[in-house]
A and B are shown apart, each in its own frame.
Chain A
Amino acid sequence: MTTPLLSIKNLRVKFRLDKHNSFEALKGISFNVMPNQTVALVGESGSGKSVASLAVLGLLPKENATVDKASSIEFEGKNLLTFSNAQKRALRGSEISMIFQEPMSSLNPVFTVGFQIEEVLKEHKGLSGKAARDRAIALLTEVGIPEPAIKIDSFPHQMSGGQQQRVMIAMAIACEPKLLIADEPTTALDVTIQKQILDLIAALQKKHNMAVLFITHDLAVVGDIADHVVVMRNGEIREQGAAIDVFSTPKDDYTRALLACRPVVDSRPKRLPVIDDFMAGRADAMRLEQRSRGVKDSDPVVLEVKGLCKDFVSREGLFGKRVFHAATDVSFKLRKGKTLGLVGESGSGKTTVGLTIMKLHDATKGEAWFEGKNIFAMSEKEFLPYKKRIQIIFQNPYASLNPRFTVGQIICEPMIIHCIGANAEARAKMAFELLAKVGLPEMSFYKYPHEFSGGQRQRIAIARCLTMKPDILICDESVSALDVSVQAQVLNLLQDLQDEFGMSYIFISHDLAVVKYMSDEVMVMSEGNVVEQGDSDALYAAPKAAYTRKLLDSIPRGLVATVG
């Protein structure tokens, strides 16, 4: 057996929160990275995976982070924690380099990409002038930037997100590092771009004989590329082993839950198994019970949208205007008790459609027929009684609840506005019932949103909508910001509520697997246009449009073969 390139032993990191409190982010983790190996560090938010990667580079914030003295991080046999600042610096960017989650903010906005790449070459290789520039162009070529000789002089904001991440990668491999740390490098990117970046990292790893430490929250992403998987939770390692073993025969319940609770395109269990199900040992049975989807012509239509268009106009030049077509000619029928999935990449206009139906934007053109009336033609006042019939749950549960209101106030407010409930007491009683329904304890009523986790907040938002007993619920990326295990719980809740109340959902998401799991019908959007729409099973099985096929091909396949 060869000696490991990087060996982390008993790493403990503590963060000081204030004078009296501290928080232990890493509780003694140990793992190795072998040369030329790709190790995936997988965990949900708060697992400490990013802390571990920053600790390797010595980039933890000096003010409040302390690494335990007994810990060691050995790189080629030398303990990095004992290195002086100058020694660490010599290592960073040359032997060990790193790419980050947000390529836009991780690149310096006021320097050209060429400057930023040449800077590394100057620092570690002593290259300058033409030599550095030629090398930078070669690097840009290698990471697949078109017209590198021109692009080298552009600023980061002039590039797309995928190109920015390629520049980050070019910068990271500039000095042929032995270890590349990739901290959620594809999380901020669209699914098609994500696939390209993953392929690029895998190719470069082989070509340059690097080791890669790949940090992600999404097990599915690492399925294709990892040799070794380390699963973390709450600062501890739950399971580690060869990727094939972890995926095929996970030993830890948490790992098994993580693998199973993510919806996949070719299976649709009635409920998604969550961690509790694994603990109770009923998960395997659940997976067999499948749900069938689809609409029949006999299902009543609740909402019919015809030719919805939404333009945004901005001023340009002296008298000029620029019109941006956010959504063009969108038509669909939403049937009672059914779910319409709306899927697309960022900028596809799917959220615009959702907000326009709610009249949070005014439609530029088109009609939306609800109970025989065109709601787009209504005034704000005429629409008010219909508002409670159509409700929306937003993406970011941290932003959609007013932080200055208690949960009780949040849930009771719509009842006050729409005069639901006889008096304050009756409203409070109803609020308690709804809290129980969405699975929150009664005492939540008196608490503020900041005391809840993301999943719990999304439940509060759902309870708020339920007060009005809506006919239509628009879920705008409602589970996208949640960890997969929590996402499964919220999806189950939404499904239960639909079964109970017969609401119709418009389910908007960029995640094809989630949309497939939830929807009876699917509509694929790209750049404001509807690319394809139809029955979800049929569409996923035999996509007609090239764009849909490209989207489906980009879904990480790592898990599909092993689970389901």
Chain B
Amino acid sequence: MLAYIIRRLWQILPTMAGVILLIFFLFNVVGGDPAYLLAGKISNPEQIANIRKQLGIDEPYWMQLLIFVKQVVTFDFGASWSTNEVVSQIFATRLPASLMIGIPLLILETIIAVCIALAVAYVRGSFTDRAAMVTCTVAQSVSILVYIIVFQYVLAYKFGWFPVQGWGNGFLENLFKFAALPILIALVVSLAPNIRLYRTFLLDEVNQDYVRTARAKGLSENRVMFVHVLRNASIPIITNLMIQLPGLLVGLFLIERFFSVPGIGREVILAVERSDFPVIKAVTVYVALATMLANLAADLLYKAVDPRVELK
């Protein structure tokens, strides 16, 4: 077990190195000279040279790469190019807002999606099942943008049930007032794909031999579905959940942007609009690291829920 974890952590290193190389290639090689971007219109050669020196991009590539690696290891990406806020500070202050929307969303979404998926899997093949699946397909086909625009306009702007946008200071105020509509919209958007996915997981199990055995034992259909099938289907469902976890860090960037939620997702969009490279680089590298750790956690959890899995 411990050996497995150490080996997996060891394997993260080359991938991390690859991520760093990719980001470096994108921003330092393809991205061009940011000095011109920063200096703006009033650029004179002196100013540009000065900025280049500050950013360290007058150094050769290998030196720049070393600087980047040092930044990653020390968690010190310097300051944002556009706001001069320290990047680590941006992380610390923006993360709570993203999590406040993401965590309740993940919990609600999973509970509701699993319940509905169980219901449709229970009546599989019936008209209800097919109608539900077509509804999901149609619901998935409408752009998330439309949901946001329409819900914001109708529920917040027209009816005034929720604030149109913004963010407060208090925890409860944020959760129940400002985060409510964003969570609701994200929930509506994410339900359809998740119901379809979880239904497939359940139906994969329904056709297994052990289900036939359970029926041959004289168990009720409820017990077959809720004990035997659900327990087995929970394995891919939990894996799917773990894979979604790193997404919490990026937040729901569109929703954060529309509702002016000071989260990481909105910060990323602002950074992209402003070509604020340090922020994008930092977010990408650390979210990638978080993804790898989440994958490792998913595999460990996998072991816990599936007795067949052996960690080698």
Contacts and interface: CB of A to CB of B under 8 A. Distances in A.
Interface of A: 57, 59, 63, 85, 89-94, 97-98, 100, 102, 105-111, 119-120, 123-124, 155, 157, 168, 171, 314-318
A108 B232 contact: yes
A317 B10 CA distance: 12
B216 A119 contact: no
Given A59-B216, A100-B209, A107-B213, 5 more contacts: A85-B221, A89-B218, A90-B218, A105-B208, A106-B213
A109 B219 contact: no
Contacts of B125: 63
Nearest to B125: A63
Nearest to A317: B3
Ranked nearest first, the 4 interchain pairs of A and B with the lowest CB-CB distance are A93-B218, A92-B218, A93-B217, A105-B209
B158 interface: no
Contacts of B6: 318
A109 B218 contact: no
A120 B312 contact: no
Nearest to A174: B217
Interface in B197-242: 208-210, 212-221, 228, 231-232, 235
B219 A119 contact: yes
A171 B217 contact: yes
Contacts of B210: 105-109
B42 to A, nearest CB: 58
Nearest to B232: A110
A110 B231 contact: yes
23 contacts: A59-B216, A89-B219, A91-B218, A93-B216, A94-B218, A97-B216, A102-B209, A106-B212, A108-B213, A108-B214, A108-B228, A108-B231, A109-B306, A109-B308, A110-B307, A119-B219, A120-B217, A120-B218, A155-B307, A157-B308, A168-B213, A315-B312, A318-B7
Contacts of B219: 89, 93, 119, 123
Given A155-B308, A317-B3, A119 B213 contact: no
Contacts of B7: 317-318
Contacts of A102: 209
A111 B307 CA distance: 8
Nearest to A101: B209
Contacts of B217: 92-93, 97, 119-120, 123, 171
Contacts of B305: 110
A106 B215 contact: no
A316 B212 contact: no
Contact of B209 (A92, A106, A119, A318): A106
Contacts of A119: 217, 219
A52 to B, nearest CB: 15
A97 B231 CA distance: 24
Contacts of A91: 218
Contacts of A97: 216-217
Contacts of B216: 57, 59, 92-93, 97-98, 100
A2 to B, nearest CB: 26
B307 A157 contact: yes
Contacts of B4: 317
Nearest to B209: A105
B257 to A, nearest CB: 42
Nearest to A98: B216
Output the residue of B7, B212, B217, B228 with the most chain A CB within 10 A: B217
What band does the interface of chain B fall in when counting residues whose beta carbon is under 8 Å from A?
A: 20 to 34
A60 B214 CA distance: 14
A479 B287 CA distance: 55
Output the residue of B7, B228, B235, B307 with the most chain A CB within 10 A: B307
A315 B310 CA distance: 12
Contacts of A89: 218-220
Contacts of A157: 307-308
A511 B124 CA distance: 43
A494 B216 CA distance: 43
Contacts of B221: 85
B213 A109 contact: no
Contacts of A92: 215-218
Nearest to B6: A318
Nearest to A62: B125
Nearest to B219: A123
Contacts of B214: 108
Nearest to A111: B231
B234 to A, nearest CB: 9
A98 B216 CA distance: 7
A120 B216 CA distance: 10
A47 to B, nearest CB: 20
Contacts of B209: 100, 102, 105-106
Nearest to A88: B218
B162 to A, nearest CB: 42
B312 to A, nearest CB: 6
Contacts of B215: 57, 59, 92
B219 to A, nearest CB: 6
B306 A110 contact: yes
B126 to A, nearest CB: 10
A112 to B, nearest CB: 8
Contacts of A155: 307-308
B6 to A, nearest CB: 6
Interface string B1-37: 0011011000000000000000000000000000000
A109 B312 contact: no
Nearest to A104: B209
A314 B310 CA distance: 13
B307 A316 contact: no
Contacts of A315: 312
B218 A318 contact: no
A192 to B, nearest CB: 24
Interface in B132-146: none
A91 B216 CA distance: 9
Nearest to B210: A108
Nearest to A168: B213
A91 B232 CA distance: 26
Interface in B74-104: none
Contacts of B312: 314-317
A97 B217 CA distance: 7
Given A90-B218, A93-B218, A316-B312, A109 B3 contact: no
Contacts of A105: 208-210
A331 to B, nearest CB: 34
Contacts of B235: 110
Given A109-B232, A110-B232, A100 B218 contact: no
A59 B212 contact: yes
A156 B216 CA distance: 18
Nearest to B306: A110
A93 B219 CA distance: 8
Contacts of A90: 218
Nearest to A54: B212
Nearest to B207: A61
Contacts of A317: 3-4, 7, 312
A164 to B, nearest CB: 11
Contacts of A57: 215-216
A157 B306 CA distance: 11
